[in-house]
Structure formats: C-alpha cells, structure tokens
Amino acid sequence: MPVSPLAPAKFPQLPTIGGVTFAAAAAGIKYKDRADVMLAVIAPGSSIAGVFTRSATRSAPVLDCQAKLGSDASKIAAFLVNSGNSNAFTGSRGSASVEAVCKAVAAETGAPVDRIFTASTGVIGEPLPHDRIIAKITELHENQSAGEIENAARAIMTTDTFAKGAAATVTVDGKEVKIAGIAKGSGMIAPDMATMLVYIFTDAQIGQADLQKLVSETNAKTFNCITVDSDTSTSDSLLMAATGASGVDVTGNADFATALHEVMQDLAHQVVRDGEGATKFVTVKVTGAQDDSDAHKVALSIANSPLVKTAIAGEDANWGRVVMAVGKSGAAADRDTLSIRFGDITVAENGWRAPDYSEEATSAYMKNSELEIGVDLGIGNGESTVWTCDLTHGYISINADYRS
Amino acid sequence: MPVSPLAPAKFPQLPTIGGVTFAAAAAGIKYKDRADVMLAVIAPGSSIAGVFTRSATRSAPVLDCQAKLGSDASKIAAFLVNSGNSNAFTGSRGSASVEAVCKAVAAETGAPVDRIFTASTGVIGEPLPHDRIIAKITELHENQSAGEIENAARAIMTTDTFAKGAAATVTVDGKEVKIAGIAKGSGMIAPDMATMLVYIFTDAQIGQADLQKLVSETNAKTFNCITVDSDTSTSDSLLMAATGASGVDVTGNADFATALHEVMQDLAHQVVRDGEGATKFVTVKVTGAQDDSDAHKVALSIANSPLVKTAIAGEDANWGRVVMAVGKSGAAADRDTLSIRFGDITVAENGWRAPDYSEEATSAYMKNSELEIGVDLGIGNGESTVWTCDLTHGYISINADYRS
C-alpha cells in the first residue's frame, strides 16, 4: 500500500525516556521480512495506567491487561506487543497463549507476571503462534535500547501505511519532564469505546491512581473522538508508563495534563490520517447542543455517515447529507435554529440554505485535504469535536480483500 | 446505472384495487424525459394509515402528512408524490410548497386538503419547483386509471435501478381481498426510524385506527429491519389506503395481517436488493439473545458494519469481523456461548473456531448472491432478523458523485 497522502512528512524525533528501553524483532507471525513484535522494559517504581475497548468480544490480551492494572508499582514492568494476529476469539487457547508469553518474558526480564502487559493486533479467530514470539524474547531483551522506540512503532503496524509517534516536553518546577508515545491504527477505528494500540511513556513522577484518572479523562477527549469506519476493535488498548526518572512530581499539574493531551491528540489524529483509503482529514465541530453528550452524538452521526463521507471523497459540498445526519442522530435539534458551515463558509442557517451561499466558493473549499464541518444547533451550550476521514474506493479495496 | 444484479426478473403483475386509480407525468423537476410525479386518487370511505421517519430534520411533506393522519375517512383522498427534490430543509418555503400543491390537487379532485398526502424525494435543501408539479395536476387527474400503478412506481424512483411492486390476495369469509404496494429506495436506507417511500392499497374494509395499528406493527418487522448504509432519510414515508371496495371487513383477521406482512416484507427486500452498489443480498439472523431488543442491536451492528459488508463484497468468509460487530453492539454477549454460521456452515462456536471449520467450503458458500449470517448468542430467547446488502465500489461511485 502507498503511504497515506495525509501522513506527516516523517516520523518525529522522539526523546528518550529515562527508565524505558525498547527492541523490535521479526518473529514471522504472519508478515515476512519485517519486525512484528516489540518489547518495552520499564524500570521498577513506574506507574502504569491503561484504557481498553469495551467490546463484549474483547481479546485475551485485553482481558489479561485489565486484570493486571494496579499491580505492584515497585517492580519491573514490560509491554510485549505483536502484529499479524489479534489473539481475539481464540477461546481458552487465547489466555493460555498470553500466559505462556508472559511467563517467558518474566523469566527473561525478571519482571513479575502481573507487571507484564501484552497486546496482539491482526486477524481475529486464528490461534496465536506464541512459540514464535517466545523464541524471540531473549533477542528482544538483549537488544533493549532507549532509542529503539521508532522500530517498536513499526513492529506494531498492520494496515497502517506509516508509523505513528508524538512527543512533548514540559517544564514543571523548573525541571524538564518528557512524554513520548507511539500508536498503530488504520481500520476498525471507532471512538465509542477506546482506541487502537497506543503506548505512552514519561519520566514524570505520578501515582498509579492519579495517572489512571488523567489518562482516562484525556482519552475521552482524544482517542474517543476519532472514527474511521464506526467499527470498534476487539483489541483496542492504550497503556501509559510514568517512570519518575525525572524526579519531578506532576500530580495535579495542569501543564503536564496539557502536554499529555497534545501527545494523545496528535497520535489520535495520526490514526485518522492513516484511515484506510483516506484522502481527506475532517474535523467535525458541533456547538449549541442541549448538552455535550448530544453534541457528541451529532458529531459522531456526521463523522460515521457513509453518505457524508462519500460526498467528502467526491469533493461535493453536499450539506443536505449533513442535515440528514443531524436528523438521524437522536439528539435534540430544531431545523429552524440549525446552522451549518464548511470551513468559514456558512452554507445553511435558519432552516434554509444561507442567503449568500455560493456553490462555487464551497466547491473550491472542498478541494482542500483538511476540512472542517461546523454545525451549530442553536439550542444550548453543549459542544463536541470529532475527527474522521472520507470514505473512498481505497477503503473498499483494502477491506474486500484483506483478511484482518 | 445498470439494473441491480439482485433485481427481480420483472415488475410483478399487480392486481387493480377497487377504489384506487393512478397516473404518472413528467414535470421536469430535475430529471429529463421521464415521469417524476404520480397521483393516486382514493375513493371516499377509505381508511388511511402511515408511518414516517423520526428524523429531527424531517421534510415538510412528512410533517404535513403526520398532521393529516386521522382526518375524515368519508371524504375522497389523494397521494401526490414527486422525485428529484425532497423538499427537506427548505424552511418555511417547504411548507408553503406543500400547501400550494395540496390546494391545486384539492381544486382538481374535490378531495379536502386534509385528505391529500404528499411526498417528495431527491436532493435535500433545494427549493421545490412546485409550479412545475401544479402545471401537471389536470393531466394527472384526467389520466387516472386503475392499471397505472407500475408507471406510478417508476415515477417515484431516484437512484433506484428498478421499480418495486408487490401484491397478495387473501380469502376472508370466502371472499377475495387484494393488496398491492409500490416502493422506492436504494440509498440513505436505515431501519431505526422508518422506511423510504412506500404506498400500499387494499380493497379490504378496516377502520383507520385498526389499520394504523396493523401497519405500525408490521412495519417494525419489515421496513424497520432493513439497512443499506445506516443513513436515515429525511423523507421516509409509508402510506396505506384501505378502500373497503371488496366489502370484506378484515379487522383483526390473521390471514390479512399475514398477507400484508408478506407484501411489506417483499417491498422491503426489494429496497435492499436495489441497495446502492449491492451485489449480495444478506439475511442476518440473530437468536439466543437476552431479549428481542438486544438481538436487533446485534443484527443491526453486523448489518451496518462497513468491515462485514466489504468482506461480503470480497466473498471473504471473514467471520472475525462478525465477532467484532457482536462485541461492539452494546448487547449482552458471552464469547464462550456465541456461535456463528454462514448458511448451514458453523464457523465458530464455544468461543473458538468450529472444530470442523473448512475455509474452502465457507469460501465457496460466500460466492452465492444470497447469503445468511446466523448468530446465536446462547444466553436467552431474544431473536431478530435484519436484511442488508454488501458495500462495494459501486456505492462509492454512486455517492461520491451524485448530489442526492
């Protein structure tokens, strides 16, 4: 697959995070001649937090990670992730595979089993060939290096066309704190539950409970606000480790929260930019709703509408389909107070096409690769922003053939 | 557009219904050289019932029809429908257009304004050129004929590739009662609210309240169980007229209810068979759910999933995507009691791929143009059946270009 036209120019320079090292390896799980497994080893005393898919058919590694959140932070920890097989809907063999992999990582790294968090992404319903992963654990441990995060990001890709990374540095009490994160995700992306695979590391010092609260709150405004195709993965996981290596306590610090928000939003946007077949990056901004929850419903209804998404692909200023998506959302709306804009162009207001609407100007705007659809419901103060992409022939080609 | 490969061989022979006549005309609303408006005139003493979209941005004709349900059945009635423009999101001009058209039909036919039910289908947000319709009312009235129902069905088509009709004859108390119906619909089809445009006629005798109850109940099991693209129209309307010309009272008659169910299900299936870009007709049958509502959630989640629909288009037996759709549905589900079948082939059971699963046999099954996906949740007695089609390049081509 060619790289998405919406991809960033290059993988960003990510800072090393004290207390975290990485390595990637080619275990041959499904793909040939590429890294497909990564191991991150995290120093004792690190806080770990996570959010996961709420799918009723979530994978064995997801169930395992959820059970391990809150385990003893004084011990070494590790993240082990493979691509090519999701170990989802694999019955009791699924958890047996997770157990076998965790045992091997524990033996190699000295981390207790309940501090080892695994994830698997790829085909659903095939047994995970965990022996191939286990055969690589020693190599992965020996090759650990603080600078290998980019290769770790590459190892977890499936239909992704580029590796995703983001970073921030924030000064707290006169001292620098760093955040670095990686993510994978391209299809089966829907925001109602959680995310795709995301790993974020910081050298900040913060307790596990405080870190969990911050991650959950930020997730609600970032990864839970993106959608590619309304389909929610069985494997979605976000894990964050705070090593404390900087010696800076960030508990309750607003600047740190803002920096983390920026990193998570950046990664979330990169997932949308790599949406299967995407040619347009679309911001849907809803204001004036009865409450934030209604605004979110309307924003998602627009962002998930196949008719809105195909109109965007065709560079067609078809705002009638936005009206349709508002109408079907289930949120309170009043035709006569509703207004719609594409970028800065008001296309509809007062229950009617805007008086100075120009088809020509709006069509010209639709040729941009970054678009904003604004909807004001005019009945309250609720607001929500959601990010999505268009629906193209590329999405059909990828998904009518690829067994994911 | 070529005719859908799933279309019936030909338009069915529909019986004439005593008390109802039809005519179609070319008013030039949007399309050139084809009929785009139809008028049905219905004898005094007919019961009329209807169901409509629950969209918050529903069109002016829908709002007008809803207000008129229950009007005096002793008077003449009329249905006037145009294609090419939906008169939706057209502000106060929308209701002014409806009023002007109804006034003209009333003057021509002698029906009171509150017995005239209009509908409009096509582009959203453009003013309806109602003068072009009014100019054809006399012609439409003069050409009324009991046998013109097929031309009426053709006049209401938009992206439809074939005209849709269905009929049934049922014997009640030794006498024949006839039902004939027509429908249009191809894209912007989602079941949560109502239907596309559907008109059903019978010579049975039944009061308006009883007819309304029967139509609403049957709608819930037919049109509300289809989806093409999860997008709900602003214009969806179903109207049914019972003229009583047969002299047979069908109030509470089970055979009549069954016959009506068959006609409505047949029309609903034809809408799916004409789904934009469709190449496969798919029945999704969910059983063993906690309750019927949960079963319906799961069935719709599968039927609306872009990943399931593209896998079907690619003839890929990708049951992992069905697992995903069950998981995201929000319904109660237990991975270990879930079973999935494609046709008669059990592909997954007991939280795992079926022991005698054959990729070859399942792939061969996927080549059929009519498919059934069965999901048993194994936790209760709730069940639901939903009908949908696949998601293909054809859908993208139609919707990235067509301003509907």
A328 is in an annotated binding site: no
- Confidence (pLDDT) at B232: 66
Domain B20-273 fold is L-amino peptidase D-ALA esterase/amidase (3.60.70)
A184 is in an annotated binding site: yes
Query: Please, which residues have CB within 8 angstroms of residue A45's CB and are 6 or more apart in sequence?
Result: A19, A73, A74, A243, A244
Of the residues A234, A236, A315, A396, the best mutation for testing chain B's interface (the one with the most B CB atoms within 10 Å of its CB) is A396
Secondary structure letter of residue A368 according to DSSP: S
Comma-separated ranges of CATH 3.60.70.12 domains in chain B: 20-273
CA atoms within a 13 Å half-sphere pointing along the CA-CB vector of B25: 21
Radius of gyration of chain B (CA): 22
Please list the pLDDT of chain A residue by residue as tens digits (404 residues).
788 888 888 898 999 999 999 999 999 999 888 999 999 999 999 988 888 877 777 889 989 998 998 899 899 999 999 999 989 888 889 999 999 999 999 999 999 999 999 999 888 888 999 999 999 999 999 999 999 999 999 999 887 888 888 888 989 889 888 988 888 776 666 544 444 677 788 888 888 888 888 888 877 777 766 666 766 666 677 777 888 888 888 888 888 888 888 888 888 788 788 888 889 999 999 999 999 989 988 998 899 888 899 999 999 988 888 988 888 788 888 888 999 999 999 999 887 888 888 989 999 999 999 999 999 999 999 999 888 889 998 888 888 865 54
Report in angstroms the alpha-carbon separations of B318 from A234, A401, B329, B365.
Answer: 14, 10, 18, 12
Across the A:B interface, residue pairs with CB atoms under 8 Å apart total: 214
Question: CATH for B281-401, among 3.40.50.300, 3.30.1950.10, 3.10.20.740, 3.10.20.340?
Answer: 3.10.20.340
Query: Please, which residues have CB within 8 angstroms of residue A239's CB and are 6 or more apart in sequence?
Result: A48, A49, A50, A65, A79, A117, A119, A198, A199, A200
> Quick one: CA torsion of B44, B50, B56, B59, rounded to 10 degrees?
-40
For chain A, give the mean pLDDT.
87
- Confidence (pLDDT) at B195: 46
Query: Which residues of chain A have a CB within 8 Å of the CB of B126?
Result: 353
Residue B9 touches partner A, C-beta closer than 8 Å: no
- Confidence (pLDDT) at A195: 46
Comma-separated ranges of CATH 3.10.20.340 domains in chain A: 281-401
Return averaged pLDDT per consecutive 10 residues of chain B, 404 residues in all: 83 91 95 93 90 79 90 93 89 92 98 94 88 98 95 89 87 88 72 59 85 81 70 70 86 88 82 84 94 91 90 90 86 88 92 87 94 96 91 85 56
- Confidence (pLDDT) at B104: 98
The H or E element that residue B238 is part of is: strand B237-242
Give the residue numbers of A annotated as catalytic, written as ranges. 195
Report in angstroms the alpha-carbon separations of A60 from A29, A31, A66.
Answer: 17, 21, 10
- Confidence (pLDDT) at A101: 98
Secondary structure letter of residue B81 according to DSSP: E
Query: Which structure tokens are listed for A309?
Result: 């998404």
Residue A304 touches partner B, C-beta closer than 8 Å: yes
- Confidence (pLDDT) at B187: 63
Residue B361 touches partner A, C-beta closer than 8 Å: no
The helix, strand and coil proportions of chain A, stated in percent and rounded to the nearest 5, come to 35, 25, 40
Query: Please, which residues have CB within 8 angstroms of residue A376's CB and are 6 or more apart in sequence?
Result: A286, A287, A288, A338, A339, A340
Contact B192 A233 (CB under 8 A): no
ipTM of this complex: 0.74
The helix, strand and coil proportions of chain B, stated in percent and rounded to the nearest 5, come to 35, 25, 40
- Confidence (pLDDT) at B233: 66
- Confidence (pLDDT) at A77: 93
- Confidence (pLDDT) at B192: 46
pLDDT tens, residue by residue, B208-262:
888 888 888 877 777 766 666 766 666 677 777 888 888 888 888 888 888 888 8
pLDDT tens, residue by residue, A102-128:
999 999 999 999 999 999 988 888 899
Burial class (CB in 10 A: 0-12, 13-18, 19+), A127: middle
Query: Which residues of chain A have a CB within 8 Å of the CB of B58?
Result: 327
